[in-house]
C-alpha cells in the first residue's frame, strides 16, 4: 500500500515536471512558436488523410499545371494532381520515418556512449576511433550507397538513418557520462558493490538523460533534413507517395511558370524543420543545457 | 609539443585506415557485387565468370583489400566501371571544380561570419542582433536544396538577373567557372556563414563575461580597444575548430547544392557514381571526402595548438 503511494507520487511528480518544462518552453515567444508549429504538423499528419479534398495520386490531363484557385487552393502539378492535397499529406512519411529513426539513434547512441564513458580504457579508445571514422564519411554518401543497394523502403530508411545519426549522440552521451562519473554518488555506488548495469541504469541515465534528449531533439531536425535531401535526390520515398522533398524536386524544372507547386512543399518542409529546431532550442534552455557552442556534427 | 602533433597525425591516420576498412567491407557486404551490377541481366555463365576474373573478384577479399589499399596510398584508385577509364582522370577536373567552389565560398563566408558574429554579440538582444540572428537561424535550418531552389526562383526566374541553371562542362577553365558560380557560392556560403556567425557570437559573449574583460573595463580601457585587444583574440580561437567542422559538415550539403545547380564537382560525381553503381568510384570518393574531413580537423587542431600558448604544455582534451 505504502509502496503504491510512493510510485503514484513519483509518477505525479514526473508529470508535473514534464508540464513544468513545457510551460518554461512556451514562456518564450520562440519556444511557443516552435511548439505550435510542431503540434500543428503532428495534428495535420494524423488528420490529413481524412481532410484531403482530392486523391493524392489521381492523375488527370485536364487539370495540368492549373494556377491556384478556389477549387485547387495551391494549384495542380504537372500530372494534374492537387498540390494542396499532396502538401498536407507530404509530411506523413517524413515525420514517421524520422521520428522512429531518432528513437533508434537515441537508444543505440545513448547507450553506447554511456557504456564507453563508464568503461573507458581500451574499449573506449577503439569504439571512439570507429565512431570518428564513421563521422568522417559524409552521411549523404553512406546513406545513398545503402539506399541504392538495399532499396528505399521505410524498413531500410529507419534503421539506416537511425544508425547514421546516432554516432554523434555517442559522443554527447560519452561526454555527459564523463561529467557525472567522477561524482561521489557513483563512487559510493561502486563501493556498495553495484554492477556496471545497475550503475548505468540507476545512477548515470537519470543524470545524462537531459543532455541526450536535447541532442536527440536536435538530431530529429537534422534527420528530417537528411531524409528530405534523399527524397529530393530521388533516393527517398518512391512516387507516387506524396513527400515534400520529392515534390520540390519534381516541380523544380517547371517552376518558371508553375511556381505554386514548388512553393507549397517548401513552406511545409521549412516550417516543420524550423519548428523542430525552435522546440529543441527551447527544450535545451528549459533543461538548462547550453547548446550554443556546439558544432554541427 | 612535437609529440602532441605527431600523436594527432597518427590518430588521423588511424581514422583513415578504419574508414578504408569500412568502405571496403561495406561495399563487400552489401548485396550485389560489381559484376552483377555491371552486367545486370546478363550476369550468368561465361560472361559472369569472365567479369569476375577480369576484376579479380575470385581473389580472397583481404588480398584485394591489401592490393587496393596499397594502390590508394600511392594515389592510384584503379579503374572506373562505367567509363572504363582511370578514376584519377575522372576525379581530377571534379576536384578542381569543387575546390574553386569551396574556396570562393570560404573566402566570402569566413570574414562575413566573423563580422556578423561580432556585431550580433556586441549588440546582443538589440535590433541588429535580432535581425541578423533570425536570418542566420533561417539559413541554418532550411535544407540546402530549398535555399538553392528559392535562390534560382527569385534571382534567376523572377528577377532575371542571372541564368538559373548553367551547363558547365567538367573541364571548364577557371574563368568560365568563376562567372557561373555566383548562385552556388551564395547558396553554400549562406549556410556556412550562418553556422560560423552563431559560433562567433556565443564565443564573443562568453569572453565578454570573463573576468579579464571585466577587469579591462574597470581599468578604463576604451571600448573598441578592449574589443580588439582583449576579446577578439580569445573569442576567435575556439571558433577555428567550429569553422573546420562546419566546412567538413558541408561536404554533405555540397552534394545537394551541386545537383541543384548542375555544377560538375565532386558532389555531383557522388550522385552519378551511385546511380551508375560505380563502386570503385564510390570507394575512392569515400576515402577522399574522409581525408578532407580528417585533414581539415587536423589543421584546425594544430592551428589551435600553435595559437594558444596555454595548450602547448598541456594535453588537450580529445
CA distances (Å), origin B102, targets A24, A143, A145, B57 = 41, 23, 24, 37
3-state secondary structure of A170: helix
Chain B environment of A128 (Cβ under 8 Å): 318
Distance, CA of A242 to chain centre:
19
Residue B34's pLDDT is what? 59
Q: Which three cell numbers stand for residue A275?
A: 519548428
Q: Check if the beta carbon of residue B270 is closer than 8 Å to that of residue B276.
A: no
As a whole number of angstroms, the longest Cα–Cα distance in chain A is 78
| A97 Cβ neighbours under 8 A, 6+ residues apart | A154, A157, A158, A161, A227
Q: What is the pLDDT of residue A1?
A: 43
Task: Inform me whether the C-beta atom of residue A274 falls under 8 Å from chain B C-beta atoms.
Answer: yes
Q: Class assignment of domain B93-317?
A: mainly alpha
Q: How far apart are CA B53 and CA B39, in angstroms?
A: 14
Closest residue by Cα to residue A269 from A290, A245, A237: A245
- At B158-214, the pLDDT tens digits run 777 776 666 666 666 666 666 677 888 888 888 888 888 888 888 888 888 888 888
Nearest-CA distance A189 → chain B (Å): 27
Q: What value does the mean pLDDT take over residues A29-46? A: 86
* Each residue's pLDDT tens digit, B250-265: 666 678 888 888 888 8
Mean pLDDT in residue range A83-111: 86
Averaged pLDDT of chain A: 79
pLDDT tens profile A173-199: 888 888 787 778 888 888 888 887 788
Nearest CA of chain B to the CA of A226: how many Å? 8
Provide the sign of the torsion angle of the four alpha carbons A115, A116, A120, A123, taken in this order.
positive
Q: How many CB atoms lie within 10 A of CB A86?
A: 28
A230 has a chain B CB within 8 A of its CB: no
CA distance B237 to B195: 16
Is the confidence at residue B92, as pLDDT, over 50? Answer: yes
Question: Could you tell me which residue, A58 or B152, shows the higher pLDDT?
Answer: B152
Q: Do B271 and A144 touch (CB under 8 A)?
A: yes
Res A294 pLDDT > 50: no
Task: Compute CA distances B259 → A191, B91, B138, B253, B256, whole Å.
Answer: 58, 17, 22, 10, 5
Q: Which of B62, B65, B88 is nearest to B75 (CA)?
A: B88
Counting Cα atoms < 13 Å in the Cβ hemisphere of A195 gives: 3
B260 neighbourhood in chain A, CB within 8 Å? 252
Question: Average pLDDT in the B36-50 region?
Answer: 63
Contact A295 B141 (CB under 8 A): no
| Partners of residue A293 in chain B, C-beta under 8 Å | 199, 202-203, 206, 238
Grid look-up 560525381 returns B269
Q: If you average pLDDT over residues A253-258, what whole number do you get?
A: 75
- Mapping DSSP onto H, E and C, the string for chain B reads CHHHHHHHHHHHHHHHHHHHHHHHHHHHHCCCCHHHHHHHHHCCHHHHHHHHHHHCCCCCHHHHHHHHHHHHHCCCCCECCCCCCEHHHHHHHHHHHHHHHHHHHHHHHHHHHHHHHHHHHHCCCCHHHHHHHHHHHHHHHCCHHHHHHHHHHHHHHHCCCCCCCCCCCCCCCHHHHHHHCHHHHHHHHHHHHHHHHHHHHHHHHHHHCCHHHHHHHHHCCCHHHHHHHHHHHHHHHHHHHHHHHHHHHHHHHHHHHHHHHCCCCHHHHHHHHHHCCCHHHHHHHHHHHHHHHHHHHHHHHHHHHHHCHHHHCCCCCC
* Dihedral sign for Cα atoms in the order B303, B307, B310, B313: positive
Q: What is the pLDDT of residue A290?
A: 62
Candidate from A1-15, A99-113, B2-16, B151-165 with smallest mean pLDDT: A1-15
B152 Cβ under 8 Å from any chain A Cβ: yes
Is residue A224's pLDDT more than 50? yes
Q: Cell digits for B271?
A: 550522385
Task: Give the per-residue pLDDT at A296.
Answer: 40
pLDDT tens per residue across span B276-311? 777 778 888 888 888 888 888 888 878 877 776 665
Domain A23-287 class? mainly alpha
Report domain extents, chain B.
17-73, 93-317
The neighbouring-strand residues paired with B79 are B86
pLDDT at B47 (0 to 100) = 66
3-state secondary structure of A224: helix
Question: Cβ A141–B19 below 8 Å, yes or no?
Answer: no
For residue A20, what pLDDT band results from cuts at 50, 70 and 90?
confident
Residues B153-163 pLDDT 10s: 887 777 777 76
Whether A181 contacts A190, CB under 8 Å:
no
* Residue B290 CB coordination number (10 Å): 26
C-alpha cell read off for B264: 560538375
Please list, residue by residue across B179-191, b when 16 or more beta carbons sit within 10 angstroms of its beta carbon and e when fewer do.
Answer: ebbbbbbbbbbbb
pLDDT above 80 (res A32):
yes
Q: Are B103 and B177 in contact (CB under 8 A)?
A: no
pLDDT band at A126 (very low <50, low <70, confident <90, very high): confident
Grid cell digits, residue B182: 555566383
Phi, psi for B153 (deg, rounded to 5): -60, -45
User: Which residues share a beta bridge with A208?
Assistant: none
Q: Which of B143, B251, B257 to mutate to test the interface with A (most CBs of A within 10 A)?
A: B143
pLDDT winner (highest mean) among A4-18, A44-58, A69-83, A101-115: A101-115
Per-domain residue ranges of chain A: 23-287
Residue B87 has pLDDT above 70, yes or no: yes
Chain B residue numbers with beta carbons less than 8 Å from the beta carbon of A129 are 11, 14-15, 18
Dump pLDDT digits (tens) for B111-163: 898 888 888 888 887 888 888 888 888 888 788 888 888 888 887 777 777 76
Do B3 and B313 form a contact (C-beta atoms < 8 A)? no
Any idea how long chain B is?
318
Percent of chain B scoring above 90 in pLDDT: 0
**Site from B14, B141, B195, B251 to mutate, A interface, most A CB atoms within 10 angstroms:** B141
> Tell me, what's the pLDDT at A263?
83
Amino acid at each position: 500500500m505504502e509502496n503504491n503511494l510512493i510510485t503514484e507520487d513519483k509518477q505525479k511528480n514526473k508529470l508535473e515536471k514534464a508540464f513544468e518544462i513545457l510551460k518554461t518552453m512556451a514562456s518564450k515567444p520562440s519556444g511557443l512558436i516552435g511548439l505550435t508549429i510542431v503540434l500543428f504538423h503532428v495534428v495535420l499528419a494524423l488528420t490529413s488523410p481524412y481532410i484531403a479534398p482530392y486523391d493524392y495520386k489521381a492523375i488527370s490531363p485536364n487539370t495540368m499545371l492549373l494556377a491556384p484557385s478556389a477549387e485547387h487552393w495551391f494549384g495542380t502539378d504537372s500530372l494534374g494532381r492537387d498540390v494542396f492535397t499532396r502538401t498536407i499529406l507530404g509530411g506523413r512519411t517524413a515525420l514517421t520515418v524520422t521520428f522512429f529513426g531518432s528513437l533508434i539513434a537515441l537508444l543505440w547512441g545513448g547507450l553506447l556512449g554511456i557504456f564507453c564513458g563508464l568503461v573507458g580504457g581500451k574499449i573506449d579508445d577503439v569504439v571512439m576511433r570507429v565512431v570518428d571514422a564513421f563521422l568522417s564519411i559524409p552521411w549523404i554518401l553512406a546513406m545513398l550507397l545503402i539506399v541504392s543497394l538495399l532499396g528505399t523502403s521505410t524498413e531500410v530508411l529507419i534503421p539506416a538513418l537511425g544508425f547514421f545519426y546516432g554516432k554523434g549522440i555517442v559522443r554527447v552521451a560519452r561526454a555527459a557520462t564523463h561529467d557525472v562519473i567522477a561524482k561521489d554518488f557513483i563512487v559510493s555506488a561502486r563501493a556498495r558493490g553495484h554492477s556496471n548495469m545497475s550503475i548505468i541504469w540507476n545512477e548515470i541515465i537519470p543524470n545524462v538523460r537531459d543532455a541526450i534528449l536535447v541532442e536527440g531533439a536536435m538530431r530529429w531536425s537534422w534527420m528530417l533534413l537528411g531524409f528530405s535531401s534523399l527524397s529530393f535526390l530521388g533516393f527517398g520515398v518512391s512516387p507516387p507517395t506524396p513527400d515534400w522533398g520529392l515534390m520540390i524536386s519534381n516541380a523544380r524544372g517547371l517552376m518558371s511558370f508553375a511556381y505554386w507547386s514548388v512553393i507549397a512543399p517548401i513552406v511545409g518542409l521549412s516550417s516543420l524543420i524550423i519548428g523542430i529546431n525552435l522546440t529543441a532550442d527551447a527544450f535545451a534552455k528549459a533543461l538548462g543545457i547550453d547548446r550554443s557552442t556546439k558544432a554541427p556534427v | 609539443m612535437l609529440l602532441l602533433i605527431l600523436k594527432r597525425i597518427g590518430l588521423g591516420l588511424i581514422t583513415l585506415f578504419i574508414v578504408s576498412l569500412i568502405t571496403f567491407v561495406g561495399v563487400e557486404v552489401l548485396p550485389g557485387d560489381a559484376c552483377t551490377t555491371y552486367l545486370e541481366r546478363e550476369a550468368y555463365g561465361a560472361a559472369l565468370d569472365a567479369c569476375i576474373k577480369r576484376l579479380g573478384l575470385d581473389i580472397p577479399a583481404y588480398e584485394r583489400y591489401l592490393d587496393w589499399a596499397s594502390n590508394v596510398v600511392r594515389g592510384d584508385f584503379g579503374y572506373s566501371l562505367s567509363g572504363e577509364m582511370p578514376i584519377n582522370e575522372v576525379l581530377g577536373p571534379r576536384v578542381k571544380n569543387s575546390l574553386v567552389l569551396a574556396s570562393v565560398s570560404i573566402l566570402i563566408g569566413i570574414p562575413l561570419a566573423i563580422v556578423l558574429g561580432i556585431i550580433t554579440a556586441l549588440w546582443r538582444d538589440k535590433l541588429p542582433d535580432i535581425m541578423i540572428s533570425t536570418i542566420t537561424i533561417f539559413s541554418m535550418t532550411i535544407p540546402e536544396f530549398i535555399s538553392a531552389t528559392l535562390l534560382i526562383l527569385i534571382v534567376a526566374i523572377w528577377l532575371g538577373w542571372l541564368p538559373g541553371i548553367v551547363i558547365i562542362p567538367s573541364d571548364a577553365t577557371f574563368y568560365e567557372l568563376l562567372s557561373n558560380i555566383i548562385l552556388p557560392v551564395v547558396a553554400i556560403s549562406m549556410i556556412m556563414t550562418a553556422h560560423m556567425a552563431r559560433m562567433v557570437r556565443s564565443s564573443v559573449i562568453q569572453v565578454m563575461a570573463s573576468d579579464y574583460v571585466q577587469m579591462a573595463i574597470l581599468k578604463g580601457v576604451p571600448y573598441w580597444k578592449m574589443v580588439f585587444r582583449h576579446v577578439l583574440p580569445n573569442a576567435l580561437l575556439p571558433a577555428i575548430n567550429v569553422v573546420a567542422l562546419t566546412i567538413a559538415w558541408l561536404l554533405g550539403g555540397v552534394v545537394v547544392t551541386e545537383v541543384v545547380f548542375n555544377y560538375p564537382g565532386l558532389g555531383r560525381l557522388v550522385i552519378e557514381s551511385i546511380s551508375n553503381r560505380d563502386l570503385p568510384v564510390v570507394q575512392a570518393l569515400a576515402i577522399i571526402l574522409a581525408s578532407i574531413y580528417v585533414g581539415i580537423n587536423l589543421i584546425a587542431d594544430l592551428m589551435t595548438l600553435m595559437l594558444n600558448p596555454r595548450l602547448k604544455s598541456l594535453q588537450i582534451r580529445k
